[in-house]
Amino acid sequence: MIKIAPSILSADFCNLEREIRRVDSADWLHVDVMDGMFVPNISIGVPVVSSIRRHTEMFLDVHLMVEKPGRYVDAFADAGADLLSVHLEADMPLRIREALRRMEERGVKRGIVLRPITSAEAVLPYLELGVELVLVMTVEPGFGGQKFMADQLPKLEAIRRYIDRYQPDCNLEVDGGIDPDTARQAVSAGANVLVAGSSVYGAPDPAVAIAALRG
Ligand code: DX5
Ligand code: ZN
């Protein structure tokens, strides 16, 4: 079963509750946290996640685009995140492991994220730890509305093979430039969770856009 995770980065932040209701036919809610250091943009943080948590039962998939993300695991766990994903490039491997361990202690699902430059093999030690999600970026992280990088498809296929072999329960999520056409390509390459920002919130009816992504 394919899961759709609309990214609220493309929503109207002045009307967040209404914007979340508009996508309630989706499966997860994707929340992009950016610190202006790991990526050039600044978005939203812990207080916004707490507010969202009070207004929805949806699964909160929080994508941390911040340096040294381990510093924020407890804060986002307290805020009510269901899953936290950390970039492998955002700290030393030892610290990334510590962050994942802390998530497990806090009962938060663990995700790792790869920038386009990072190779498929980088996931192997983390599949061994039993992470619940691998997120493959199909744009350079930082902004919504960019073009899908088709050169990431072989990487998705390779990671799907690793997952099937070593950690079959692990989700494979794709983020960046997803519309009905690129969604089809990502799913054939092995993705089972699709993040979509502009193609959902830019549509006249987000529910129709979500249905179109399901294929
Ligand atoms: C980009 C974010 C994405 C972004 C996707 O750094 O991680 O989640 O919102 O937006 P679209 O779907 O417009 O590419
Ligand atoms: Zn994201």
pLDDT at 169: 97
Distance (Å, whole) CA 193 – CA 178: 11
Contact 177, 198 (CB under 8 A): no
- With a 6 Å cutoff on the Cβ, whether 139 touches ligand 1 is yes
Domain count for the chain: 1
What is the rounded distance in angstroms from the CA atom of residue 171 to the CA atom of residue 188?
Answer: 14
Q: Which domain holds residue 99?
A: 3-214
Atom of ligand 1 nearest to the CA of 200: 12
Q: What is the CATH number of the domain that holds 113?
A: 3.20.20.70
Minimum-distance ligand 1 atom for the alpha carbon of 176: 14
Ligand 1 contact via 10 beta carbon (within 6 Å) = yes
Asked whether 49 and 32 are in contact (CB, 8 A), the reply is no
Q: What is the ipTM of this complex?
A: 0.98
Q: Which helix (H) or strand (E) holds 193?
A: strand 193-196
Block means of pLDDT (10 residues each) for the chain, 215 residues, are 97 97 98 98 98 98 98 98 98 98 98 98 98 99 98 98 98 98 98 98 98 96
Encoded tokens for 28: 């997860």
Q: Is the CB of 6 under 6 A from ligand 1?
A: no
CB 70 within 8 A of CB 78: no
Place of tokens 């997803």: 178
Which residues have C-beta within 8 Å of that of residue 14, sequence separation ≥ 6? none
Buried b (16+ CB within 10 A) or exposed e, 47-60: ebbeebbeebebbb
208: which 2 tokens?
């129709």
